[in-house]
A and B are shown apart, each in its own frame.
Chain A
């Protein structure tokens, strides 16, 4: 029994931060129809910014809780600014072009940001673990878990619920949904689509960076951080359905559990399992688990 509980807890911890990254990716695709390759770079930037802020706070001998809060605020501010700047300064010039062009533009942004992070933070691994000790350790299913890891589960659930609520129960959310479903009709109804685009992209960037910040205290940041994340988050949104919040949640949990089960039961198949699930879903539901099939407009 404990064995299966361990797999579930490990899977949920893994799913928690992956869900936040995938949520940003799926939101940007839902609204802007952009497959944002640079999404992993925003995760990396969030992680690096968080580490810098935590280190600064620790240098001033302030408690780790201050570092934790400060890193979240700093990352939110920087990510929102970077997101708006990129959307207004670059992406909007390519709206209306083929989706492949936008894909290539975000790939170029990914390459540029990879080097920017190296220029700013160097190639050496850096870490800032002070917030990782914030919530102590807990014994669960016969194992010690770091409280911080477990706290990530309710945090990501709260973020997911807030976004679902915001999209489905608020006026602003309904406007965003209207743009997702039919952009032309939204424009004709007086919706300022450009603002929705800018907001959605900046929010997607913010989510990626937030996930980076939340994972920063437990990892050693080094170049290459972004590419791993983008591959996993793409797998999640493909499983769940591009543009679906519920899909991102289910996809993240499936990937997290599949990975945890593989490591415990069949370590050799760890990577294979994730793509096996993805292939299985695509075989039976090419649109992903939660994406509704839409009628083709002529």
Chain B
């Protein structure tokens, strides 16, 4: 019997060796990502050159920027031939950029509070993890914001809110018997309340009144945000209704919706703003004057709702027919099946699209500067660049406007991506 005592059998593993230098750490990353092929080397060098030239050209401009000057002449005098920005214009005209040039400067705190409260009102809508009782505040917010921004007596806003609440209460009460009956009663009740309240608020115009600011005095970034928020918040429900109408099997209702949506989507926003500016007044009763901002809001809401309707229609079409059939087989009527089964799923699919459309709307509010309203861009092109002090400081002003919009729109689109991940419930 041969004794097997081969001593070369190892009983423990050899220690793992460190990978060669070319296969680890920075060297591996660089060789894989930056210089894997001659073409890649060229691209890397090209990009580095682009980054370098941007930095070299813009860094001194930023670093030498002048923050304290009375006019562009003074800026150039201080700079003395060196390349540099004249940020002084942003500092000096800051209130104009934000609030427009007519909003009374003693009342700037009102829009400020309105924006802070807007964030508070949006929070429970945007983040479902917050306590949902906060939604009550979101419901009150539009009326509060109206009072804060436009001023006047709070009675108008209070009565509008109470009338709405009364209408909804009546609807809840009577809709059990019949949907149509509930709606009719609610509308009558609310209108009755508003007419009565109208007399009350006219009689007490000075009660707790803030200084009233007419719409034409709104301007600057405030106007952009105002138009964007109002148009978006009204157009989302309107868009959903239009989308449902387009899906309807009642031909007349379907065609009304189709013609509306396709007409609005077929023309540029600027022509709709022309309509708001010069034509819409012809369609209101004679001797009424509806101010421009309201006419613009009407047209922007129509515009946005047509696009939202298309997005929602995409969401509705993406649902499998089985969902509709399941809702029917449970014996739900149209309103119930839409509210409980179809819309929650369809809206979930359409959230990214709705957010994209809304971001687009916010960006498009700058177009009102073309019909000579003084929003952020309108302020820059009109009252600021036209003055002799700041004539010619394009870069700083447009750069600032671009940066403001970038921050707002980029964060909204990041939020929508986050929400999409949150709502992802499938197992994929």
**A complexed with B:** no
